[in-house]
Amino acid sequence: MSIERAQSVQGWMTEEELTYLARLAGRSNLIAEVGSWLGRSTCALGANTQGVVFAVDTWQGSEEHVGMLAEKPEGWLFSEFRHNTSGLPIMPIPLPSLDAAFLLTKTRILFDLIFVDANHSYESVKADILAWVPLLSVGGVICGHDFDPTYWKGIVRAVEECVPRFRIVPETTIWTTEEA
Protein backbone atom coordinates (compact mmCIF):
# COMPACT_ATOMS: atom_id res chain seq x y z
CA MET A 1 0.00 0.00 0.00
CA SER A 2 1.42 3.35 -1.03
CA ILE A 3 0.30 6.88 -0.18
CA GLU A 4 3.58 8.78 -0.64
CA ARG A 5 2.62 10.18 -4.04
CA ALA A 6 -0.80 11.23 -2.73
CA GLN A 7 0.83 13.02 0.20
CA SER A 8 2.88 15.12 -2.21
CA VAL A 9 -0.30 16.59 -3.77
CA GLN A 10 -1.96 19.63 -2.18
CA GLY A 11 -5.30 18.79 -0.61
CA TRP A 12 -7.25 18.34 2.58
CA MET A 13 -7.11 14.60 3.17
CA THR A 14 -5.14 13.40 6.16
CA GLU A 15 -2.66 10.53 6.19
CA GLU A 16 -5.27 8.33 7.91
CA GLU A 17 -7.85 9.16 5.25
CA LEU A 18 -5.43 8.48 2.39
CA THR A 19 -4.45 5.18 4.01
CA TYR A 20 -8.10 4.14 4.29
CA LEU A 21 -8.75 4.93 0.61
CA ALA A 22 -5.56 3.12 -0.44
CA ARG A 23 -6.69 0.03 1.46
CA LEU A 24 -10.12 0.07 -0.19
CA ALA A 25 -8.55 0.63 -3.61
CA GLY A 26 -6.34 -2.42 -3.11
CA ARG A 27 -9.40 -4.64 -3.31
CA SER A 28 -11.32 -2.65 -5.94
CA ASN A 29 -10.98 -2.88 -9.71
CA LEU A 30 -13.49 -0.27 -10.84
CA ILE A 31 -13.47 2.92 -8.81
CA ALA A 32 -15.43 6.14 -9.27
CA GLU A 33 -14.18 9.26 -7.56
CA VAL A 34 -16.76 12.05 -7.58
CA GLY A 35 -14.76 15.24 -7.06
CA SER A 36 -11.01 15.08 -7.69
CA TRP A 37 -9.60 18.63 -7.32
CA LEU A 38 -5.80 18.35 -7.75
CA GLY A 39 -5.71 14.56 -7.38
CA ARG A 40 -4.57 13.92 -3.80
CA SER A 41 -7.17 11.23 -3.12
CA THR A 42 -7.07 10.16 -6.77
CA CYS A 43 -3.40 9.26 -6.35
CA ALA A 44 -4.15 7.18 -3.24
CA LEU A 45 -6.80 5.30 -5.20
CA GLY A 46 -4.86 4.98 -8.46
CA ALA A 47 -1.57 3.91 -6.89
CA ASN A 48 -3.26 1.04 -5.07
CA THR A 49 -5.78 -0.45 -7.49
CA GLN A 50 -5.16 -3.16 -10.05
CA GLY A 51 -8.02 -1.63 -12.04
CA VAL A 52 -8.93 1.91 -13.05
CA VAL A 53 -10.20 5.06 -11.34
CA PHE A 54 -12.86 7.09 -13.14
CA ALA A 55 -12.17 10.60 -11.83
CA VAL A 56 -15.31 12.73 -12.24
CA ASP A 57 -14.95 16.49 -11.89
CA THR A 58 -15.58 19.65 -13.88
CA TRP A 59 -12.18 20.96 -12.75
CA GLN A 60 -13.84 24.36 -12.37
CA GLY A 61 -14.03 24.25 -8.57
CA SER A 62 -17.08 24.78 -6.36
CA GLU A 63 -18.26 27.91 -4.59
CA GLU A 64 -15.79 27.35 -1.76
CA HIS A 65 -12.91 27.42 -4.27
CA VAL A 66 -13.62 30.75 -6.01
CA GLY A 67 -10.95 32.66 -4.10
CA MET A 68 -8.37 29.90 -4.53
CA LEU A 69 -8.79 29.87 -8.31
CA ALA A 70 -9.24 33.62 -8.91
CA GLU A 71 -5.64 34.22 -10.03
CA LYS A 72 -5.25 30.95 -11.97
CA PRO A 73 -5.56 30.73 -15.77
CA GLU A 74 -8.43 28.79 -17.31
CA GLY A 75 -7.65 25.09 -17.40
CA TRP A 76 -5.04 25.33 -14.63
CA LEU A 77 -6.83 22.96 -12.25
CA PHE A 78 -7.24 20.18 -14.84
CA SER A 79 -3.65 20.63 -16.04
CA GLU A 80 -2.36 20.27 -12.48
CA PHE A 81 -4.59 17.24 -11.90
CA ARG A 82 -3.22 15.54 -15.04
CA HIS A 83 0.35 16.31 -13.98
CA ASN A 84 -0.22 14.98 -10.45
CA THR A 85 -1.85 11.74 -11.62
CA SER A 86 0.26 11.02 -14.72
CA GLY A 87 1.20 7.38 -15.16
CA LEU A 88 -1.56 6.11 -12.88
CA PRO A 89 -4.63 4.18 -14.12
CA ILE A 90 -6.89 7.23 -14.08
CA MET A 91 -9.68 8.01 -16.56
CA PRO A 92 -10.67 11.68 -16.15
CA ILE A 93 -14.32 12.42 -16.88
CA PRO A 94 -14.66 16.21 -17.15
CA LEU A 95 -18.39 16.43 -16.49
CA PRO A 96 -20.68 17.47 -13.67
CA SER A 97 -21.32 14.55 -11.33
CA LEU A 98 -24.95 13.97 -12.26
CA ASP A 99 -24.22 14.06 -16.01
CA ALA A 100 -21.41 11.53 -15.57
CA ALA A 101 -23.61 9.24 -13.46
CA PHE A 102 -26.33 9.39 -16.10
CA LEU A 103 -23.92 8.53 -18.92
CA LEU A 104 -22.23 5.74 -16.97
CA THR A 105 -25.63 4.24 -16.13
CA LYS A 106 -26.10 3.75 -19.88
CA THR A 107 -22.87 1.71 -20.07
CA ARG A 108 -24.01 -0.68 -17.33
CA ILE A 109 -20.63 -0.33 -15.60
CA LEU A 110 -20.81 -1.06 -11.88
CA PHE A 111 -18.17 0.17 -9.46
CA ASP A 112 -16.57 -1.70 -6.58
CA LEU A 113 -15.85 1.59 -4.84
CA ILE A 114 -17.47 5.03 -5.16
CA PHE A 115 -15.87 7.93 -3.30
CA VAL A 116 -17.94 11.14 -3.02
CA ASP A 117 -16.07 14.40 -2.36
CA ALA A 118 -17.48 17.00 -4.75
CA ASN A 119 -19.63 20.05 -3.98
CA HIS A 120 -20.25 20.04 -0.21
CA SER A 121 -23.75 21.57 -0.15
CA TYR A 122 -26.58 19.44 1.21
CA GLU A 123 -28.42 19.43 -2.11
CA SER A 124 -25.33 18.41 -4.10
CA VAL A 125 -24.22 15.68 -1.71
CA LYS A 126 -27.73 14.22 -1.59
CA ALA A 127 -28.00 14.32 -5.39
CA ASP A 128 -24.56 12.71 -5.76
CA ILE A 129 -25.39 9.86 -3.40
CA LEU A 130 -28.74 9.18 -5.05
CA ALA A 131 -27.25 9.31 -8.57
CA TRP A 132 -24.23 7.12 -7.84
CA VAL A 133 -25.68 4.39 -5.56
CA PRO A 134 -27.31 2.64 -8.56
CA LEU A 135 -23.81 2.32 -10.07
CA LEU A 136 -22.47 0.40 -7.07
CA SER A 137 -21.77 -3.32 -7.54
CA VAL A 138 -23.24 -5.87 -5.14
CA GLY A 139 -20.94 -5.87 -2.15
CA GLY A 140 -19.35 -2.58 -3.24
CA VAL A 141 -18.56 0.34 -0.95
CA ILE A 142 -19.72 3.92 -1.24
CA CYS A 143 -18.00 6.42 1.00
CA GLY A 144 -17.30 10.12 1.17
CA HIS A 145 -15.21 12.81 2.79
CA ASP A 146 -15.84 15.64 5.26
CA PHE A 147 -18.47 14.11 7.55
CA ASP A 148 -18.07 16.91 10.07
CA PRO A 149 -21.10 18.41 11.86
CA THR A 150 -19.13 21.51 12.81
CA TYR A 151 -18.10 22.60 9.30
CA TRP A 152 -20.16 20.54 6.85
CA LYS A 153 -23.67 20.17 8.25
CA GLY A 154 -25.07 19.58 4.75
CA ILE A 155 -22.88 16.53 4.21
CA VAL A 156 -23.92 15.07 7.57
CA ARG A 157 -27.61 15.64 6.82
CA ALA A 158 -27.42 14.18 3.30
CA VAL A 159 -25.56 11.05 4.45
CA GLU A 160 -27.91 10.50 7.38
CA GLU A 161 -30.94 10.81 5.05
CA CYS A 162 -29.63 8.81 2.08
CA VAL A 163 -27.33 6.12 3.44
CA PRO A 164 -29.28 3.80 5.75
CA ARG A 165 -26.27 2.01 7.21
CA PHE A 166 -22.98 3.86 7.41
CA ARG A 167 -20.19 4.33 9.87
CA ILE A 168 -17.44 6.88 10.37
CA VAL A 169 -13.90 5.60 9.90
CA PRO A 170 -12.09 6.22 13.22
CA GLU A 171 -9.79 9.27 13.32
CA THR A 172 -11.13 10.53 9.96
CA THR A 173 -14.05 12.45 8.48
CA ILE A 174 -14.81 9.61 6.05
CA TRP A 175 -18.28 8.06 6.11
CA THR A 176 -18.50 4.58 4.61
CA THR A 177 -20.77 1.64 3.98
CA GLU A 178 -17.83 -0.71 4.50
CA GLU A 179 -18.45 -2.93 7.49
CA ALA A 180 -15.92 -2.63 10.28
User: Mind listing the pLDDT tens digit for each residue in 131-170?
Assistant: 999 999 999 999 999 999 999 999 999 999 999 999 999 9
Confidence of residue 76 (pLDDT cuts 50, 70, 90): confident
Residue 30 is predicted with a pLDDT of 98
- Mean pLDDT value across residues 70-97: 93
The total number of structural domains that make up the chain: 1
Q: Is residue 85 over pLDDT 90? A: yes
What does the DSSP 8-state code read for residue 10?
-
Q: Is residue 81 over pLDDT 80? A: yes
Name the strands in the sheet holding 111-116, side by side, starting at the edge strand that comes first in the sequence: 90-93, 52-56, 30-34, 111-116, 136-144, 175-176, 167-168
* 165 in Cβ contact with 140 (< 8 Å): no
Which CATH number does the domain housing residue 8 bear?
3.40.50.150
Residue 64 is predicted with a pLDDT of 65
* 18 in Cβ contact with 7 (< 8 Å): yes
Q: CA dist 168 to 2, 40, 117, 135, Å?
A: 22, 20, 15, 22
Q: What is the mean pLDDT of the chain?
A: 95
Confidence of residue 70 (pLDDT cuts 50, 70, 90): confident
Provide the percentage of residues in the chain whose pLDDT is more than 90: 89
Question: Does 76 or 2 have the greater pLDDT score?
Answer: 2
Confidence of residue 78 (pLDDT cuts 50, 70, 90): very high
For the residues of 20-73, what is the DSSP string, one character each?
HHHHHHTT-SEEEEE--TTSHHHHHHHTT-SSEEEEE--SS--GGGHHHHTTSP
Q: Is residue 8 over pLDDT 70? A: yes
Question: Does 76 or 158 have the greater pLDDT score?
Answer: 158
Q: CA dist 101 to 7, 25, 67, 118, 158, Å?
A: 28, 20, 28, 13, 18
Whole-number Å distance between alpha carbons of 152 and 135: 25
Strands 167-168 and 111-116, by their bridges, are unpaired
Residue 71 is predicted with a pLDDT of 83
Which range of residues forms the domain containing residue 89? 4-176
Question: Does 47 or 76 have the greater pLDDT score?
Answer: 47
Whole-number Å distance between alpha carbons of 131 and 78: 24
Whole-number Å distance between alpha carbons of 12 and 75: 21
Residue 107 is predicted with a pLDDT of 95
